[in-house]
Amino acid sequence: MTASRSDFVTGGLISTVLVANRGEIARRVFATCRRMGLGTVAVYSDADAAAPHVGEADAAVRLPGNTPAETYLRGELIVEAALSAGADAIHPGYGFLSENAEFARAVQAAGLVWIGPPIEAIEQMGSKVASKKMMDAAGVPVLAELDPTEVTEAHLPVLIKASAGGGGRGMRVVRELADLEPQIAAARREAESAFGDPTVFCERYLETGRHIEVQVMADTHGTIWSVGERECSIQRRHQKVVEEAPSPLVERIDAMRASGQEAVAERGHARPARMANGHSMRERLFEAARLAAGAIGYTGAGTVEFLADEQGDFFFLEMNTRLQVEHPVTECTTGLDLVRLQLEVAAGGRLPAEPPAMRGHSIEVRLYAEDPAHDWQPQSGTVHRIDIPSVTAEFDLLERAGVRLDTGVVDGSVVGVHYDPMLAKVISYAETRTEAARLLATALQRARIHGLVTNRDLLVRVLRHPAFLAGDTDTAFFDTHGLSTLAVPLASEADEALSIVAAALADAAANRVAARVGGGLPSGWRNLPSQSQRKSYESRVSGVHEVGYRFTRSGVTVDGHEGVELVELSPERVVLSVPGERGPVRRAFTIARYGDLVCVDSPLGPVSARRLPRFSDPADQVATGSLLAPMPGSVIRLGAEVGGRVDAGQPILWLEAMKMEHTIAAPTAGVLSALNVTVGQQVDIGAVLAVVDPDDAVNENQEQ
């Protein structure tokens, strides 16, 4: 920026910024504000009253209620909060009202600075239907939009998309015409819940496209930057999971052009004919992004998204008139603080003629509280601990190879059902893509994340997968390489068993420390041989583990683990010597306890298990065929009636949680003997929603 930067900081145009958002993005904006000497104001729902972003702000204003519709989607309440707290500017973050033109208009009408693009640009890009037509007229390549009422067999497969939003909400792939109407209805419900607008449209679905986007930054003086491209092709439910800069596809296509390959590209793909005109794929992407931004008089930070094929051709998808979740990878590869640039542009600052050149490689993963192995079920509850020891920066630029963390949760944070279950963004930067992937995978594997099931193991396996390392990262990555394989825990069954042995020994040490009598003696020690002591644990991965162990004068013996020797023992740390291929190998385990939950971390991989009581309570038994709520949520629809016959996999009911719909299906064929919920009812995790009597059980009862 020019010398106007000092005027911006000291001249009084902006002195205090309210962030109309929550969690990680609020903390991210606050971090830049603090570095610039600006005041900060948070808003919070009742569910977020104890959230870190609230405590970090200079002032915080309550938005009564819990759901987005009651709180973060109430623009008038947010404007009132800014005025009452003395803020003179509002940063919308991303999601919620960040692309809502009426909210931007209300902010400006109240005399506040809107840290975002012109209202007209938001309106023009706010409808994906209208924006595609505008980009087509401007000469940007687009995929044809389809009216949902006119889709035929010839159009299939198609992608249903919400016109007013993104992030995977309101998106459905339809491959059978009979599924079109119910999927449109479901997409409309999700879009209404997430964005307040049920409008959806259809477009041709490319099974194996590459998702490439260009970060743009424009000032009010006519300068438009294409800052750099990102690739975000690895997605689940059409929501990005892994993002990186620069794009492996763009790097490969342009490297081919530079090497003079004329006909056949790597993996047998023909080189695009348009490459012969002297323009690289990156140049064409940047020019298309500048053309899109210029066509609507854009200012501030924005992202132009494209769907590309392996030949380097691309089509406009949408323009996000806000900061993106994945903006840190661009910051790491350019050295730019994009939030600072947003603030300076909003204050009238001028961009230099050209952006800085990209350097190195950066990869970001989204760490979610979800279970990939069970249809990506979102999780809720307490994050007892989140610690990534190798982090070198938080919400800040990386000047050298390292790992950055942007998170909205800390130890003790509660993940509720009202918002997206993303825990953190973990970002690596290095000179090469291979090193960046290795740094990030290692950081994630060594992280201590206790309390909730997450997608951490899946992310590590993706980052280490040969196809990922080769840059083969299209939108069908999980289908191509098998989610069931990628979602396998990092710890093997044998490693998990050894980790639970360590947990049992550590628990024995903890019991000794807590004992009022003989606390200094080894647990279970006898002068003469005796039976093994036993502890039982249950893992979500492999079920029940029963550990039998006996302390002796020389150490410990563990049933079924010959050759395992105890080297070090405390309630929090166990070191075991275990047989290796060429001799004993020492393995260190750290143990943490939260009630009956035991978390064991080691280089073998993280393991979590619950201690089982010595005697079970019959009242805790769950009837065979019971459908348990996989998460807290609200029942929005029923699909069967009590007494009716159901098939295995048939939807029984639908839950809404974390802004997504989740289908609860019959585990087996049989008769629906109980339905314990009604539409609109809130349910807790583990609640028995319904019971299906399996066919075998029905037949046995009839015979009796």
pLDDT digits (tens, 9 = 90+) for 250-287: 999 999 988 876 434 444 333 333 434 558 999 999 99
What is the mean predicted confidence (pLDDT) over 362-386?
94
Peptide bond into 157 cis (omega under 30): yes
Domain 623-703 = CATH 2.40.50.100: yes
37-46 pLDDT, tens digit each:
999 999 999 9
Of 241, 124, 240, 143, nearest to 201 by C-alpha is 143
321 pLDDT above the threshold of 50: yes
Strand partners, 593: 598
Round the average pLDDT of the chain to a whole number and report it.
Answer: 90
Are 125-204 and 623-703 equal in CATH topology?
no
411-431 pLDDT, tens digit each:
999 998 889 999 999 999 999
Specify the pLDDT at position 264: 42
32 pLDDT above the threshold of 50: yes
Specify the pLDDT at position 268: 39
Specify the pLDDT at position 615: 62
79 pLDDT above the threshold of 50: yes
Strand partners, 62: 44
What is the mean predicted confidence (pLDDT) over 506-534?
72
Give just the sign of the alpha carbon dihedral 160, 162, 165, 168: negative
What is the mean predicted confidence (pLDDT) over 190-216?
87
Backbone φ and ψ of 122, nearest 5°: -60, -45
Higher pLDDT, 419 or 685: 419
648 pLDDT above the threshold of 60: yes
What is the mean predicted confidence (pLDDT) over 601-619?
84
Residue 295: C-alpha distances to residues 122, 155, 279, 282, 316 (Å): 13, 30, 21, 20, 14
Task: Note the CATH architecture for domain 210-246+285-486.
Answer: 2-Layer Sandwich (3.30)
216-247 pLDDT, tens digit each:
999 999 999 999 999 999 999 889 999 999 99
518 pLDDT above the threshold of 70: no
Of 329, 326, 309, 308, nearest to 317 by C-alpha is 308
Lowest mean pLDDT among 86-90, 205-209, 519-523, 584-588: 519-523
Q: How many CA atoms does the CB half-sphere of 623 hold within 13 Å?
A: 15
Q: How many CA atoms does the CB half-sphere of 436 hold within 13 Å?
A: 30
Of 153, 129, 156, nearest to 143 by C-alpha is 129
**Tokens 């004068």 sit at which residue?**
553
Residue 392: C-alpha distances to residues 29, 243, 428, 440 (Å): 19, 19, 10, 12
Domain 4-115 = CATH 3.40.50.20: yes
Strand partners, 690: 627, 675
How many angstroms separate the CA atoms of 395 and 30, rounded? 9
Q: Report residue 171's pLDDT band, with 50, 70 and 90 as the boundaries.
A: confident
Specify the pLDDT at position 2: 43
461 pLDDT above the threshold of 70: yes
What DSSP assignment string belongs to 394-422? ESS--SSSEEEEEES--TT-EE-SSS--E
Say which DSSP state 374 is in: G
531 pLDDT above the threshold of 90: no
Residue 53: C-alpha distances to residues 295, 385, 409 (Å): 36, 17, 9
How many angstroms separate the CA atoms of 615 and 612, rounded? 8
**Tokens 């306890």 sit at which residue?**
593
How many angstroms separate the CA atoms of 381 and 379, rounded? 7
> What is the rounded (10 degree) CA torsion for 81, 86, 91, 94?
-30
Specify the pLDDT at position 336: 98
What is the mean predicted confidence (pLDDT) over 618-632?
75
How many angstroms separate the CA atoms of 475 and 233, rounded? 5
What is the mean predicted confidence (pLDDT) over 487-516?
93
Lowest mean pLDDT among 258-262, 339-343, 491-495: 258-262
CB under 8 Å to 352, separation ≥6 — which residues? 1, 2, 223
What is the mean predicted confidence (pLDDT) over 663-674?
92
Higher pLDDT, 148 or 444: 444
Specify the pLDDT at position 392: 96
Q: How many distinct helices (H) and strands (E) make up the chain?
A: 19, 40
% pLDDT > 70, the chain? 90
Specify the pLDDT at position 267: 41
Specify the pLDDT at position 277: 52
Strand partners, 230: 213
Specify the pLDDT at position 273: 35
Superfamily of domain 125-204: ATP-grasp fold, A domain (3.30.1490.20)
Give just the sign of the alpha carbon dihedral 89, 92, 96, 102: positive
Specify the pLDDT at position 17: 98
What is the mean predicted confidence (pLDDT) over 606-614?
93
Give domain limits for the chain.
4-115, 125-204, 210-246+285-486, 493-611, 623-703
What is the mean predicted confidence (pLDDT) over 314-337?
96
What is the mean predicted confidence (pLDDT) over 184-195?
86
What is the mean predicted confidence (pLDDT) over 561-567?
95
Say which DSSP state 595 is in: T
pTM for the predicted model, two decimal places: 0.85
Tokens, residue 643:
């007494």
435-449 pLDDT, tens digit each:
999 999 999 999 999
Strand partners, 587: 576
9 pLDDT above the threshold of 50: no
What is the mean predicted confidence (pLDDT) over 88-102?
96
Residue 576: C-alpha distances to residues 7, 303, 479, 511 (Å): 62, 51, 39, 19
Q: Report residue 698's pLDDT band, with 50, 70 and 90 as the boundaries.
A: very low
Tokens, residue 528:
């003469």
Pairing of strands 660-665, 651-657: antiparallel
